Amino acid sequence: MSSYSHHATGSGSRTARRTFEFGRTHVVRPKGKHQATIVWLHGLGDNGSSWSQLLESLPLPNIKWICPTAPTRPVALLGGFPCTAWFDVGELSEDGPDDWEGLDASAAHIANLLSTEPADVKVGIGGFSMGAAISVYSATCCASGRYGNGNPYSINLRAVVGLSGWLPGSRNLRNKIEGSHEAARRAASLPILLSHGNCDDVVPYKYGEKSANSLSIAGFRQLTFKSFDGLGHYTVPREMDEVCNWLTGRLGLEGSRA
């Protein structure tokens, strides 16, 4: 278990100090040659264990999967009911306030999990629903070179996957990327796969589509957006097949040849 404490600083901000304990981390070791490590993030109210079982069954012997569990916190969307959540979320809308403290704390926890991987191993982040929101948020931190709070982001992500999710903080994104040549270069070269079911009744399809659009406009050129007909707010084998194929290609995985 690790905890991440953070202070709100700066003029006029709340000085309340919140510490959230992250839950248990589940690791799936590679069955073949270790070429990539991916942190995979669960959705609201879930935990790392259920995804680790699914990921273990995929035909990707070269990937080590790290499946952390989010802190338990009161969630505004659920009327303050406490459950596992990577950040606090109210209504899902572009104008909804983003919980920057929570986003940064979770993105930093994930970066920390990846920071000890060997230099020759490619690293990435994936997730479902709220986990996908953190994956994509991490992609924007990687491109801009810093977290929302301005601290440097130092992980070199090589692949980002978001299933049935959305992009938090899309309003400021373009300014963060276009203001710097380095950021624009990193955004243009970071492979991102977004996938969404067009019958999603939890995170509407239009949010997935808008997120892909915002990333595109901000200069993320290696972006793939896949829509799945008739798919609700869950994943299916044909979607995971796409994820496997995409990761194998983008990360140059050897498969079972090794």
The residues that are catalytic are 129, 200, 233
φ and ψ of 150, to 5 deg: 95, -10
What would the two tokens of residue 108 be? 């930093």
Return the beta strands (E) in 53-182 as ranges: 63-67, 72-75, 81-84, 122-128, 157-163
Coil, helix or strand at residue 167: coil
- Residue 111: exposed, middle, or buried by beta-carbon count in 10 A (0-12, 13-18, 19+)? buried
- Here the tokens at position 199 are 């019958």
Cα–Cα distance for residue pair 216/135, rounded to 1 Å:
16
- Name the burial class of residue 8, with classes exposed (0-12), middle (13-18) and buried (19+) by CB atoms within 10 angstroms of its CB: middle
What residues have CB less than 8 Å from 160, skipping those under 6 apart?
124, 125, 126, 135, 136, 138, 139, 190, 191, 192, 193
Q: Report the alpha-carbon distance of residue 6 to residue 227 in Å, rounded.
A: 37
